[in-house]
Amino acid sequence: MKIYQTNEIKNIALLGNARSGKTTLAETMLFEGGVIDRMGDVESKNTVSDYNEIEQINTSSVFSTVLYTEWQNKKINIIDNPGSDDFVGGIIASFRAADSALLLVNAQNGVEVGTEIHLRHAEANNVPVILVVNHLDHDKANFDKTIENLKEVIGSNMVLVQFPVNPGEGFDSIIDVLTMKLYKFSGNNGKAAVSEIPADLKDKAKELHNELVEKAAENDEELMELFFENESLTEDEMRKGIALGLIQRGIFPVFCISAKKNMGVQRLMDFICNVAPTAANMPAPKNSDGNEVKCDEKGPVSLFVFKTNIEEHIGEINYFKVLSGEITEGMDLVNQYNNTKERLSQLLVTAGKNRNKVGKIVAGDIGAAVKLKATKTNHTLNAQGKNWSFDEINFSPAKYRTAIKPKSEGEEEKLGEALTKTHDQDPTIIIEYSKELKQIIIHGQGEHHLNILKWHLDNVYKLDTEFIAPKIPYRETITKIAQAYYRHKKQSGGAGQFGEVYMIIEPYIEGAPDPKMHKIEGKEIKLNIRDKNEYDLDWGGKLIYYNCIVGGSIDARFLPAILKGIMEKMEEGPLTGSYARDIRVAVYDGKMHPVDSNEISFRLAGRNAFSNAFKNAGPKIMEPIYDVEVLVPSDRMGDVMSDLQGRRAVVQGMSSEKRFEKISAKVPLAEMSKYSTALSSLTGGKAIYTMKFAEYSQVPGDLQQELLKAYEEEQKED
């Protein structure tokens, strides 16, 4: 195929709620560009985009798919994204390659929850958006209501470039107020008869044309002067103004199509080629040195990997955007993440599973490579001597968790390898091997997200797995001072074991002075601090360890063993086996034997003395609390609030955000199990939420008793 230059390349992300027609539009665009000679459809499971088995089973996109088409001597790279928020990772990654987005809106349903989610992501990533109203041929299509919805969400920056003459079953005509022409379609061949606008629609078209002219003129002082001087703009001047407005996100043009019947798609592709920005038009990304890297074919070679896919018979495929320079087959580059030398033995451009070899890819274009040794998503590859990198993609934090295990013993390693590969392919799947919980925890965007992961494990990796309830990472601490001692004595022939340890424990409070005297059960205990060690614990909180031994009652060489015993019990807390935190321990007395004392004796004595003291120090269990934000339509607010209150939520505030109500609350992690499914059920899929760890807080007394009882039963079973 032709090698396209930077100014001939347009990179488009396809966005929209599930069933808005993204995959069908991509199919039509590929057909129109001659990349495929026959259009498939989602129901027949033969589209170029949704080619994975699980996508065909579900008849919906699970992965983002990189495609391309050719039109007007331009190359349009297309990234077809899933509509479900469970697969948001593909959408966010696509923004690193796309220079603008087509956001499809289903004319039957208007603005849906997915529409708003994708708009938010586009705004957060500063991506220009072209709005495309699809399914105008459906009998329930309501264009006016859809436009009303879009105005509520986007505001005055939304402007019509087209409107349908007859939306509904008889839909066959569009009026374009940029060209001021009527486009009438017959058949499904994409071709339109172009004619003058009918007299009864001229006033409406003129009014919308003037709105478009004004909006285009707003984006450039020179155009504004021309507008004031001539009271209008030429088509080319309007295109220039719209192009500038798109880049500044000051204009959201609206187009009308029926992707399935190939109506309006050619005109949309014309607009993309004539007006949508190239990579060189967009603000240049900054590298790790803080310098802009301009999209220049003659610049130093640098590319960024935005997606990694794993396919049977091929292995890893890395999809990248060339940010500067041009790359050729056989070129050697350096991976800046791990300093690995990588050879680009094959360069590919892809249309789904169809891949074509090319000899060269230039700045601004998207390509793929196979058989790279150590390159993954978020890696930067540069020419030798250019040691910068680019910021990693900031994926959405996980909001759903479950534990997983293989059904057959001995397959843990195989499961670990498979999970690593799934994370490489979808970085929003986070794998946690929890030593604390003794579980493999997988985190994702929702229950459906992780069910798709399980399908891959069971069917692609041939691993029988099961999801089990994830344990909660509780923390244990104390609320008051306690003293304890423990004597470890063992004699069984030969050398024995002996160690005796006295200690005082108390809560750690930041800024509190070191202890000097404690009165316990009427007895004063003076502490002469000889040594102090402060430990920041891996799981949060602190341990302060004081050596207050005087008179050599315990030899200094045994003090590290006592600390080791204390730390062992902090790693497996006395109450529920959870990590303990925020404790000060003072070892102030003890005894040893000249023959039988050794490190193991004092480790066990320290461990048990700590455990005994802990249980008498007003112990409490702490639970993880998360900041949860829920965006919900106002008519479902009551149901969502009631559900949150049933989850022990403490509501922090409520506010309005565009067409949604926002509830901010602190909710225990233990109460968030399957929340994504419950919220979807309560709101018909119209609400979304985010959650982020906030703090640890004491569990209620009744729950603490339940947890203690459950742990005792578990210990008995073991």
Q: What is the mean pLDDT of the chain?
A: 94
Distance, in Å, from the CA atom of 23 to the CA atom of 336, rounded to the nearest integer, reads: 35
* pLDDT on residue 221: 86
Report the 10 Å Cβ neighbour count for 643.
17
| C-beta separation of 625 from 648 below 8 A | no
- When pLDDT is cut at 50, 70 and 90, the band that residue 16 belongs to is very high
Report CA 706 to chain centroid distance, whole Å. 35
Q: What are the strands of the beta sheet with 100-106, ordered from one edge?
A: 65-71, 74-80, 9-16, 100-106, 129-134, 252-256, 158-160
Average pLDDT for 124-144: 97
pLDDT band at 29 (very low <50, low <70, confident <90, very high): very high
Render pLDDT for 335-344 as a digit per residue (tens, 0 to 9): 999 999 999 9
User: Thinking of the domain 622-703, which architecture would CATH place it in?
Assistant: 2-Layer Sandwich (3.30)
Per-residue pLDDT, averaged over 689-697, amounts to 94
Token readout for 580 is 């303990």
Poorest-pLDDT segment among 267-276, 386-395, 404-413, 514-523:
514-523
CB 424 within 8 A of CB 415: no
Nearest CA to 618 among 583, 661, 645, 572? 583
Sorted by sequence, the CB contacts under 8 Å of residue 31 that are 6+ apart come out as 37, 38, 39, 262
Domains 400-471 and 622-703 share a fold: yes
Residue reference for tokens 């347009």: 10
Give burial (CB, 10 Å; 0-12/13-18/19+) of 519: exposed
Checking if the pLDDT of 313 tops 80, the result is: no
Which residue from 123, 141, 130 is spatially nearest to 658, judged by alpha carbons?
Answer: 123
Q: How high is the pLDDT of residue 545?
A: 97
Residue range 84-107: average pLDDT? 97
Are 548 and 529 within 8 A, CB to CB?
yes
| Confidence grade of residue 227 (pLDDT, cut at 50, 70, 90) | confident
Query: What backbone phi and psi angles, to 5 degrees, belong to 302?
Result: -155, 130
Q: CATH for 400-471? A: 3.30.70.870
- Confirm if 30 and 190 have CB atoms less than 8 A apart: no
With a cut of 90, say whether residue 687 has pLDDT above it: no
Class of the domain covering 476-618: alpha beta
pLDDT at 517: 92
Q: How many angstroms separate the CA atoms of 60 and 56, rounded?
A: 7
Tell which residue, 104, 121, 101, has the closest CA to residue 112: 104
Write the pLDDT tens digit of every residue in 505-554. 999 999 999 999 998 888 899 999 999 999 999 999 999 999 999 988 99
CATH code linked to domain 6-281: 3.40.50.300
Query: Which amino acid is present at 302?
Result: S
pLDDT tens by residue, 467-513: 999 999 999 999 999 999 999 999 876 778 999 999 999 999 999 99
Residue 133 has pLDDT above 90, yes or no: yes
Given a cut of 90, whether residue 241 has pLDDT beyond it is yes
Report, as an integer, the average pLDDT of 650-655: 96
The whole-number pLDDT of residue 591 equals: 96
DSSP 390: B
Residue type, 24: T
pLDDT score of 228: 85
And the tokens for 717?
């079973």
Is 90 exceeded by the pLDDT of residue 657?
Answer: no
* pLDDT for residue 718: 63
Unique residue bearing structure tokens 């920056």:
157
Those residues whose C-beta lies under 8 Å from the C-beta of residue 700, and which sit 6 or more positions away, are 648
pLDDT tens digits, 170-179: 999 999 999 9
Total residues belonging to the chain: 718
- The pLDDT value recorded for residue 419 is 97
Give the mean model confidence (pLDDT) for residues 362-377.
96
Q: Higher-confidence residue: 117 or 565?
A: 565
CA distance 237 to 215: 12
Q: Cα–Cα distance between 363 and 676 in angstroms, integer?
A: 41
Q: What is the pLDDT of residue 187?
A: 82
Q: Give 302-382's CATH code, choosing from 3.10.350.10, 1.10.260.40, 2.40.30.10, 3.40.190.10.
A: 2.40.30.10
Instruction: Of 228-242, 609-623, 678-692, give the range with the top mean pLDDT.
Output: 609-623
Q: Which two tokens stand for residue 586?
A: 């003072």
pTM for the predicted model, two decimal places: 0.89
Q: What is the mean pLDDT of residues 597-610?
A: 96
The mean per-residue pLDDT over the stretch 604-610 comes to 97
d(CA 709, CA 715): 10
Within 10 angstroms of residue 34's Cβ, the number of other Cβ atoms is 10
Q: How many CB atoms lie within 10 A of CB 557?
A: 11
Q: Which of the two residues, 28 and 311, has the higher pLDDT score?
A: 28
Domain ranges of the chain: 6-281, 302-382, 400-471, 476-618, 622-703
